[in-house]
Amino acid sequence: MRKIWRAAVDAVTPYEAGKSLETLVAELGLTELVRLSANENMLGASPRAIEAVRREAASIHLYPDGGSGALRDALARGLGISPAQIVVGNGADELITLIALAAFEPGDEIVMPHPSFEPYATGANIAGARIVQSPLAGYETDLDDIRRRATPRTKAIFLCSPHNPATTIIRREPLVAFLDALGADPPLVVLDEAYHDFVDDPDYPDGVSLLAHYPRLVVLRTFSKIAGLAGLRVGYAIASLEAIDRFNRVRAPYNVNRLGQVAALAALEDPDHAARTRKFVLEERAYLAAGFEHRGIAFAPSQANFLLVRVADARHARERLLAGGILVRDGAAVGFPGHLRITVGTREINERLLKLLEE
């Protein structure tokens, strides 16, 4: 028999995104369903981004700018770095795959917290690399444990801050000590900052500012959360010139579509929308946290636009919420059984959610 499929792909589990919102609404016979399971932006996208997409629709018969040049220029200006240190991807998801394609080989070890954002493991598995899991210490990333698991065979370490699904951050001092301890010839350290815009802890480090000292660092960011462009798929990596050159070699020629590029550019030109989103998330996160505390419900100290909440029977609680028109993520699906992962909603939705959980 001819062997068609790569053995490494046997280890890959397809990403389970769940049923579409439309399918669920139809199946449950609901008039409305609020999705608090995907950490989307409850305020929607910037009106400027929506207008940019409308204008760009007339040009969708033309290929996009393959290098996302205007977007990289704008990002670079804002970050105070060179555009050559940025690659834009079809969501931060694509960048995780590009890192694996460019760097991982069979036999490499890829260290990551457990649980963590699933695509890290997918990238490692696709490449035939070996996943080395470092258990979280409660809800916190255990940097000492990760360092102990790093060996000369370690090709990359994934860190996520704020962590999905645990919601916690890695603070500046321990992160710098960790990076220093990896020595002069460290593995790649991928610092996933998808939720960095929602952090209010003053000890949160800016990953981009660390790049000058730690050239093996790769920082990931996205327009899906703060900018509300999840449906258009735009993320970016900031790294050394060498790393970006390698990622460019393995990416598809036109990996980011026209609508995504113009919408992301327009989002950068609307800092008020980003500020509104941040203010909204911080206020409503505090409101939910106070509501959980008041009801004796335990949760992780969140710095993200979602909370990880401990419940006695997560499956039952999720079903109860679903019947009430609110979709949340069962923690069991993201490595936290006995928990629900809940995106910060609007005040009206949060009130409903607290009431339903109380019942």
Residues in contact with ligand PLP by CB under 6 A are 39, 91-93, 117, 160, 164, 192, 194, 222, 224, 230, 235
Helix (H) or strand (E) holding 178: helix 172-181
Q: Are 162 and 196 in contact, with CB atoms under 8 Å apart?
A: yes
Q: Which residues pair with 188 in a beta bridge?
A: 156
Q: Which is nearer to ligand PLP, 93 or 109 (CB)?
A: 93
CB of 120 to ligand PLP, least distance (A): 9
Q: Which residues contact 180 (CB under 8 A, 6 or more apart)?
A: none
Q: Which is nearer to ligand PLP, 243 or 334 (CB)?
A: 334
Sign of CA dihedral 233, 238, 243, 246: positive
CB of 218 to ligand PLP, least distance (A): 12
**Per-residue tokens: 42:** 């409850």
CA 100 from centroid of its chain's CA atoms:
17
Instruction: Find the farthest-apart pair of alpha carbons in the chain and give their distance in angstroms, rounded.
Output: 63
Q: Which residues pair with 235 in a beta bridge?
A: 89, 222
DSSP annotation string for 229-293: -TTT--EEEE--HHHHHHHHHHS-TT-S-HHHHHHHHHHHT-HHHHHHHHHHHHHHHHHHHHHHH
Query: Which of these, 121, 110, 116, lies nearest to 140 by C-alpha position?
Result: 116
What is the spatial distance between Cα 126 and Cα 281, in angstroms, rounded to a whole number? 35
What is the spatial distance between Cα 298 and Cα 333, in angstroms, rounded to a whole number? 19
Q: Which is nearer to ligand PLP, 225 or 357 (CB)?
A: 225
End-to-end CA distance of the chain: 58
CB of 224 to ligand PLP, least distance (A): 3
Q: Which is nearer to ligand PLP, 304 or 354 (CB)?
A: 304
3-state secondary structure of 100: helix
Q: Which is nearer to ligand PLP, 95 or 357 (CB)?
A: 95
Q: Which is nearer to ligand PLP, 116 or 350 (CB)?
A: 116
Residue nearest to ligand PLP (CB): 91
Q: Which is nearer to ligand PLP, 143 or 229 (CB)?
A: 229
Q: Which is nearer to ligand PLP, 187 or 235 (CB)?
A: 235
CB of 164 to ligand PLP, least distance (A): 4
**Per-residue tokens: 40:** 């989307």
Q: Which is nearer to ligand PLP, 85 or 164 (CB)?
A: 164
Q: Which residues pair with 72 in a beta bridge?
A: none
Query: Which of these, 354, 355, 359, 298, lies nearest to 331 by C-alpha position?
Result: 298
CB of 125 to ligand PLP, least distance (A): 17
Q: Are 168 and 336 in contact, with CB atoms under 8 Å apart?
A: no
Q: Which is nearer to ligand PLP, 92 or 328 (CB)?
A: 92
